[in-house]
Amino acid sequence: MLCRQCGYYAPEEAIVCPKCGTLMRTDASEGGGAESIRQGKRAREAVKNRAARTEEEIRRKRRSGASHATVPLQPVKDTRVEEAEAEEETEGYFDPIEENLGGIGAEEEELKRKTFERRKTEEYSDEAVRQAQAAAYAARHAPGHGNRRMVNWFKVGLAAFILTALVLGGGYFFLKRTEPGQMLMARMGQEANSTALWKVGEEQLDQGNIGEAILSFEKAREKDAENGVVDVDGLLLLGNAYEADGRVKDAAALYEEIYTETPSRSEAYVSHIRLLLASGEKGAKAKASELMKLAYEKTGDESFYTQRNDYVPAPPEVDLTAGYYETKKYIAITSYQGFDVYYTFDENAELPAGGTLFTQRVFLDEGIHTLRAVAVDGELVSDELRGTYRIIMPSPQTPRSSLAPNTYKTRQRVRLKPGLDNENDDDIVIYYTVDGSPPDADSPVYTGEAFWLPGGRVTLKAVAVNKYNKVSNMLEILYKIDIPEPLRGYNYETDAPKDFTLYITSMIEFQQMFGEGTLVGNVTLENLDTECRRYDYDWGYAVMSKTKSGWVVAEVCLTGTGPIAAPRGTKVGDTESFVVSKFRDMGQVESPSGNRGLYAGKDGTGKIWVREEGGKIIRYRCYSADGAHWWQLDYVTNANGTVTTIDMKYDP
């Protein structure tokens, strides 16, 4: 039969609707329910006919004595026809029961309750109502029972699309923006950030998957490099992975890179030192000791300093403390551990290769000496011993003169004496000159006796020298003695031969005057770097020099009598004293070597030199008029003091 409430077709024997629980009508008045309302006027007659057939069937069953009906039905007024007619009159109005057949709300529940109570009173006894309620409750809670409604597939699709988008968006956010998601991506071998790669690599390393760990670490390192980041802890893990994989060289290179870029971290130093000491390669121990030193300097970690001191030899020792000394010294450099010691005084030398093996005491002369030394045990080198020795011996004071500077009318005698601080020193030697030259070791030595000053303008110069060969400042005093001055010194401009001029007269001109001579061959002239040739003559020889303008005469040497005259009437065969008397002589005495200064000044010099082979050279030198070069005149004497050679030459 058709439920008048929800339109559900229920079995004929049903008392209540299995779907909505509404009491079903079974009498002849059933034509006015939901079916007639839904089907309109044309259905009412069909409903009435069906109700009549149903009532007839019920009477027939009663007459036959059927006993299966458990609830006696009481005649009830059939209101369905009236309700159907009312439906036509109220068509278009809102019916809450019809509009809400697809669902059960609070209002519908209240309406159903009231309707049920009303109909219960009208149709059934209390017992029938209780049985109907029990059947309705069982129907509602039966498995699979529920309200049927129309499916809105558009809403279902939209909801599915939104749910899928949310799932995909959430998954993307989880994988790309969260640490667990990034680690999941890294484990899957997909693109991930460096932090996740470092962590996953560490997991793989802990699990013994060394190759996979290295790949993860290297990817993380590349990521950090792109972002300009250095993850020291991660790089140390990579170094450990390299070691575990047997890639020791790669690990050592990585550790060196770490402490080069991040020198304050100590872990990389420790690992690299460990690898060097374990390698057994030549030079590895030396590198390890140097790395210990570097690590201590960069990190300040005392453990590196202690480790190195326990590992390398101790620095050598000396028996003379560095410092200032006034006497020459000897020092010994040793290693108390018995190792070889190499030393140097060169600041730029590299030890031990550039040093000297110590075998005997080292002499320290006057000066400043910076000693550097190391002890060597195989390839291990100690820290450097360094010390500076200043050997500065005392210098004497400037000597004093007994004659004050002044102008004197007569010849004067002079005495010299040491400075006040050296008056009682017995090691002071005073060197002096009156020829105008600065005193040196080839100057006269003051013997304590007074000496005469020459006439004219005289400059007395003197220095004191002590036993350490330290020279004092120079004493320099100008005197004017009003007596005739000595002769003037040699001057080529006035003393040159009248027939030629050195380094100006050409070879052709010279040979036209004195003959071609005999070519001996090429010779070398002191201070001349041009090609030179010697030509011999009866009276001596001449040397020609090749210049840009041609050959010129550069030297003329007289060994006998001939057409060329020597300056100031001198000639071969004269005595030493005669020659000296023709030029200026300040009367200076001989030095300990036998040499004697004649004069010295801005216009030239004159000096007598003792020859090793015997005899002397009386040498005069003067500047040219333009000051560009020298003219030199030598008189060579034999052991008897007789002039054997007169040599005139150009000296650039």
Average pLDDT of the residues of the chain: 83
d(Cα 126, Cα 237) in Å, to the nearest integer? 87
Note the pLDDT of residue 122: 52
Q: Which residues pair with 431 in a beta bridge?
A: 445, 463
Contact indicator for 27, 76 with CB cutoff of 8 Å: yes
Note the pLDDT of residue 577: 95
DSSP tag of 421: G
- Which two structure tokens, joined as six digits, stand for 104? 């059960």
Residue 375 φ/ψ region, left for φ over 0, alpha for ψ in the -120 to 50 degree band, beta for the rest: beta
For residue 431, with 0-12 CB atoms within 10 Å meaning exposed, 13-18 middle and 19 or more buried, which class applies? buried
d(Cα 451, Cα 415) in Å, to the nearest integer? 7
Note the pLDDT of residue 87: 47
Q: Which residues pair with 2 in a beta bridge?
A: 9
Long-range pairs of 636-639 with CB within 8 A, sequence gap ≥ 24: 636/611, 637/575, 637/576, 638/614, 639/614, 639/615
Backbone angles phi, psi at 218, to 5 degrees: -65, -35
Note the pLDDT of residue 90: 45
Helix (H, G, I), strand (E, B) or coil at 44: helix
Q: Which residues pair with 430 in a beta bridge?
A: 464
For residue 612, with 0-12 CB atoms within 10 Å meaning exposed, 13-18 middle and 19 or more buried, which class applies? exposed
Note the pLDDT of residue 183: 79
> 């002369």: which residue's tokens?
365
What residues contact residue 23 under an 8 Å CB cut-off, 6+ apart? Answer: 15, 16, 17, 116, 119, 120, 123, 124, 132
Nearest to 130 by CA among 18, 29, 16, 27: 16
Note the pLDDT of residue 144: 54
Note the pLDDT of residue 491: 93
Residue 321 Cα distances to 317, 318, 362, angstroms: 10, 7, 14
Note the pLDDT of residue 624: 86
Q: Per-residue b/e over 95-111, b at no fewer than 16 CB within 10 Å? A: eebeeebeeeeeebeee
- C-alpha Rg value of the chain to the nearest Å: 67
> 């439920």: which residue's tokens?
3
Contact indicator for 37, 26 with CB cutoff of 8 Å: no
d(Cα 11, Cα 441) in Å, to the nearest integer? 154
Chain centroid, CA 466 distance in Å: 54
Nearest to 139 by CA among 19, 24, 22, 23: 19
Along the chain (652 residues), what's the average pLDDT of each consecutive run of 10 residues? 70 72 57 44 55 60 48 47 48 43 56 64 56 64 56 82 78 69 79 85 89 89 88 91 92 92 91 90 87 91 90 94 93 95 96 95 94 94 94 93 95 95 92 96 95 94 93 96 90 90 95 95 91 96 95 96 94 96 95 96 93 95 87 96 96 90
| Max CA separation in the chain (angstroms) | 200
Pairing of strands 407-408, 475-481: parallel
Chain centroid, CA 397 distance in Å: 54
Backbone angles phi, psi at 460, to 5 degrees: -90, 125
Note the pLDDT of residue 337: 92
Backbone angles phi, psi at 156, to 5 degrees: -60, -45
The residue count of the chain comes to 652
Note the pLDDT of residue 63: 57
d(Cα 239, Cα 412) in Å, to the nearest integer? 94
DSSP 146-196: -------HHHHHHHHHHHHHHHHHHHHHHHHHSHHHHHHHHHTT----HHH
d(Cα 579, Cα 436) in Å, to the nearest integer? 21
> 């350490």: which residue's tokens?
468
d(Cα 209, Cα 267) in Å, to the nearest integer? 24
Q: Is the N-terminal amide bond of 352 cis, ω within 30° of 0? A: yes
Share of the chain above pLDDT 90, in %: 54
- Which two structure tokens, joined as six digits, stand for 447? 């013997």
